[in-house]
A and B are shown apart, each in its own frame.
Chain A
Amino acid sequence: MFPAAFDYTAPGALDEVLSLLSQHGDDAKVLAGGQSLIPLLKLRFAAPVILVDIGRVDGLEGIRRENGHVRIGARTRHRDVESATELRGTLDVLLDAAPLISDPLIRNMGTVGGSICHADPAGDWGAVMLAVGAEFVVKSASGERVLPAAGFFEGPFTTGLRSDEVMTEIRIPVGSGRSGGTYLKLERKVGDFASVATAVHVVLGGDGRIAAAGIGLCAVGAHSIKATAAEAALVGQAPSDELIAEAARLAGDAAEPKADIRGSAEYKRDVARVFVQRGLHTAINRAQGATA
């Protein structure tokens, strides 16, 4: 398999990237880690005129905590999140999700922002970002926008990102409550795209009640899904088996799966329910064990 020919440029500065993108519009494609894009180019499912490689732009990498946010540079690799053990207790769901993305070799190249912008309905980060209420900083020659994860994913491989924009940062609000989360993924084999995956993140208040809850569903719809009804059912409630079961049922209802070689729609919906249920138990246990 051989990609079709394209022009290639690897600017050293973000301004250059932005000017190229505004110049070429839909003909250009941003190359970050390339782990989704390059296989598509090889299959000739995509054939951009020009690839703009952001691999040599400074300042797009790294994870830091600042002003009540965890800020992740868009070009931060999956493996860097995987090894960011300082997030344990704050953003468990990220740490649980990272090692389940593809395989270690892909995680050495693939980037968080690249994966989010690629917006594969079975991409793992989308559901995680919905669960933690992330915001995406995107830049273009005409300025900067901050887009909430909720609403960002519009369809298969389609997002709110314009063709002249590049994502530069992911911001995740981290509050003061005790939090816990987890990511559960059913894959036909290790390294496979999810058949179903669920991201769960909860914050407990001082009274032990659920102060905030985020649930993201992966691979059960045209894009990553935020299970808002299930989240709403949890907030303000004291955790209980019944509550969790009800929230899981609502999360299952939020799924819009389609039958394919990974299983029937009914199956995927039910696994989403089961995983949200299991995930909430884990997340709440973790939060209860955590210190604020």
Chain B
Amino acid sequence: MTQPVALTINGRRREDHVEPRLLLVHYLREVAGLTGTHIACDTSQCGACTVLIDGEAVKSCSVFAVQAAGREVTTIEGLAADGILHPVQQAFWNEHGLQCGFCTPGFIMAAAYLLKQNPSPTDDEIVRGLEGNLCRCTGYENIKKAVRSASEAMSGKADGVSGELVGSAAVPVEG
């Protein structure tokens, strides 16, 4: 029943025997132990399961693990390098681009892919680039802001940090 599958995940090669019906998202979560990739809709509307295959963003709930054989998969766990957050991760943090955080890994992967394709997207291009991801907490306002801010940070147009750091000094009460 099972078939061998060899692929690279976040730069590490692994080989397993899996059933052909095993979805890539289940393979990542339950075989490879990478639980940052989430499942939310089951029918490929929400994008919570977004990962990169050979650098391209796809929905891992609609791909079989066997289809990814021989390819390079990048998950949310593989985005930060050497303890440094990817600019998109940093921007989601700075701009309050997440609340419950469940859709967030998928959004960050889709946004990182978008900015790789198009480093300086217009607002409209951001919207079109992230059409495949759903968020129920943020109303998308701060996600848009985060992607803009990441784009600026990556292109060196801004220092990339628009919020105060944790534990920073006094900011007066509003009003």
Whether the complex brings A and B within 8 Å at their CB atoms is answered yes
Q: Which A positions have Cβ atoms within 8 angstroms of B? A: 1-8, 10, 31, 34-35, 38-39, 41-43, 51, 53, 55, 99, 102-106, 108-109, 190-191
Q: Which residues of B are found within 8 Å of A10, using beta-carbon distances?
A: 66-67, 69
- Please, could you name 9 A-B residue pairs with CB atoms under 8 Å apart, sorted by A? A3-B23, A34-B64, A38-B23, A38-B64, A51-B20, A103-B47, A106-B59, A106-B132, A109-B59
Known A5-B19, A55-B67; further 7 A-B contacts with Cβ < 8 A: A42-B23, A103-B132, A105-B133, A106-B62, A109-B58, A109-B63, A191-B131
Query: How far is it, in angstroms, between the C-alpha of A102 and the C-alpha of B58 when the chains are bound?
Result: 12
Contact, CB under 8 Å: A108 / B58 = yes
Q: B3 at interface (Cβ–Cβ under 8 A)?
A: yes
Query: How far is it, in angstroms, between the C-alpha of A234 and the C-alpha of B57 when the chains are bound?
Result: 43
Per-position 1/0 for B47-74, Cβ under 8 A of A? 1001000001111011110110100000
Q: Which residues of B are found within 8 Å of A8, using beta-carbon distances?
A: 3, 20-21, 64, 66
Q: Which of B23-65 contact A (CB under 8 A)?
A: 23, 42-45, 47, 50, 56-59, 61-64
Q: B78 at interface (Cβ–Cβ under 8 A)?
A: no
* Least Cβ–Cβ distance between A115 and chain B, in angstroms: 14
Q: Which of B107-159 contact A (CB under 8 A)?
A: 110, 114, 128-129, 131-133
* Least Cβ–Cβ distance between A230 and chain B, in angstroms: 31
Q: B165 at interface (Cβ–Cβ under 8 A)?
A: no
Q: B1 at interface (Cβ–Cβ under 8 A)?
A: yes
Query: How far is it, in angstroms, between the C-alpha of A94 and the C-alpha of B163 when the chains are bound?
Result: 43
Q: Which residues of A are found within 8 Å of B43, using beta-carbon distances?
A: 1, 39, 42-43
* Least Cβ–Cβ distance between B42 and chain A, in angstroms: 4
Contact, CB under 8 Å: B21 / A105 = no
Those 6 A-B pairs whose CB atoms lie nearest each other, nearest first = A103-B132, A8-B20, A105-B132, A103-B131, A1-B42, A38-B62
Contact, CB under 8 Å: B20 / A6 = yes
Contact, CB under 8 Å: B62 / A35 = yes
Closest to B114 in A: A104
* Least Cβ–Cβ distance between A50 and chain B, in angstroms: 9
Q: Which of B1-16 contact A (CB under 8 A)?
A: 1, 3
Q: Which residues of A are found within 8 Å of B64, using beta-carbon distances?
A: 8, 34, 38
Contact, CB under 8 Å: A104 / B20 = no
* Least Cβ–Cβ distance between B49 and chain A, in angstroms: 9
Query: How far is it, in angstroms, between the C-alpha of A53 and the C-alpha of B65 when the chains are bound?
Result: 12
**A6, A34, A53, A109: residue with the most chain B Cβ atoms closer than 10 Å:** A109
**B21, B57, B66: residue with the most chain A Cβ atoms closer than 10 Å:** B21
